[in-house]
């Protein structure tokens, strides 16, 4: 059992964050910052291994795990595909930022041979595949804001933007086909406020 779990289980009652932090800080106080970092890094790895959540330090995985816990979702078991799962196993997409406002960047999307195929791919395999999209903002190590948007609204926002960008995704500035064409577009803060629902 890792140190954090032992500290939490010593007190069967529900503890608030500050009480938990105080107990952990008392254990860490005799350590150097470097030792603290290594210990906490290992603790995070141990917790994620025990829960089968994967490597918390791969890409934005730690933020996905944190958000899933805070939002009452299940952590997705794989790195590819959904970031979290709903009560019936439906996939959810997370977009995280540490900026002052929530936003969502959809980048690195594989380009299909025609726009018709691209649109179908976006609706069935990429964006529309996840019933809900969450735009999460982190500050000082905490999830301080989260907005939920249905996939249909996300598609209504992104499809026109991607359709405009599609021709340039295939051909480079030199006029030759790109070796690895990718497509991307953003959901803005204004769009999130207009179509989304704040959940945190």
Q: How far apart are CA 161 and CA 25, in angstroms?
A: 48
pLDDT (0 to 100) of residue 21: 82
CB 119 within 8 A of CB 159: yes
The single-letter DSSP state of residue 79 is S
Do 43 and 88 lie in a common domain? no
> What is the pLDDT confidence band of residue 56, given thresholds at 50, 70 and 90?
confident
**Residue 99: alpha-carbon gap to chain centroid:** 14
- The domain spanning residue 141 has which CATH number? 3.40.210.10
Rounded Cα distance, 68 and 86, in Å = 9
Look at residue 63 and tell me if it is in a domain.
no
Helix (H, G, I), strand (E, B) or coil at 13: coil
Same domain for 46 and 130, yes or no, is no
Q: CA-CA distance, 111 to 183, in Å (whole number)? A: 6
Q: Are residues 92 and 175 in the same domain?
A: yes
- The pTM (predicted TM-score) of the whole model is 0.80
Alpha helices by DSSP H, the chain: 3-10, 17-28, 33-51, 61-71, 115-121, 151-170, 189-195
94 inside domain: yes
Non-local (6+) Cβ contacts of 48 within 8 A are: 54, 55, 56, 65
Asked whether residue 62 is domain-assigned, the answer is no
Count structural domains, the chain.
2
| Size (the chain), residues | 200
> What's the domain range around 31?
1-51
Over the stretch 113-126, which tens digit does the pLDDT of each residue have?
A: 999 999 999 999 99
User: Mean pLDDT of all residues in the chain?
Assistant: 88
pLDDT score for 60: 79
Q: Are 130 and 93 in contact (CB under 8 A)?
A: yes
User: Are 20 and 8 a contacting pair, CB within 8 Å?
Assistant: yes
pLDDT, tens digit (0-9, with 9 covering 90-100), for 148-164:
999 999 999 999 999 99
Residues 88 and 183 grouped into a single domain: yes
Contacts (Cβ under 8 Å, ≥6 apart) of 65: 48, 53, 56, 75
Distance CA 72, CA 50 (A): 19
């Amino acid at each position: 059992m890792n140190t954090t779990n032992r500290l939490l289980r010593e007190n069967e009652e529900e503890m608030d964050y500050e009480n938990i932090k105080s107990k952990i800080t008392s254990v860490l106080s005799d350590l150097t910052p470097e030792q603290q970092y290594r210990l906490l890094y290992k603790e995070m790895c141990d917790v994620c291994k025990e829960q089968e959540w994967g490597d918390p330090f791969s890409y934005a995985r730690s933020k996905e795990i944190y958000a899933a816990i805070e939002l009452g979702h299940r952590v997705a078991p794989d790195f590819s595909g959904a970031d979290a799962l709903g009560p019936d196993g439906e996939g959810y997409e997370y977009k995280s930022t540490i900026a002052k406002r929530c936003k969502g960047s959809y980048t690195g999307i594989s380009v299909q041979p025609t726009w018709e195929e691209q649109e179908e791919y976006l609706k069935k395999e990429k964006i529309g595949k996840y019933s809900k999209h969450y735009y999460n903002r982190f500050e000082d190590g905490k999830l301080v804001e989260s907005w939920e948007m249905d996939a249909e609204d996300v598609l209504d926002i992104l499809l026109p933007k991607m359709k405009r960008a599609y021709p340039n995704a295939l051909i480079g500035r030199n006029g030759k086909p790109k070796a690895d064409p990718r497509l991307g577009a953003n959901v803005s803060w204004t769009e999130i406020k207009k179509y989304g629902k704040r959940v945190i």
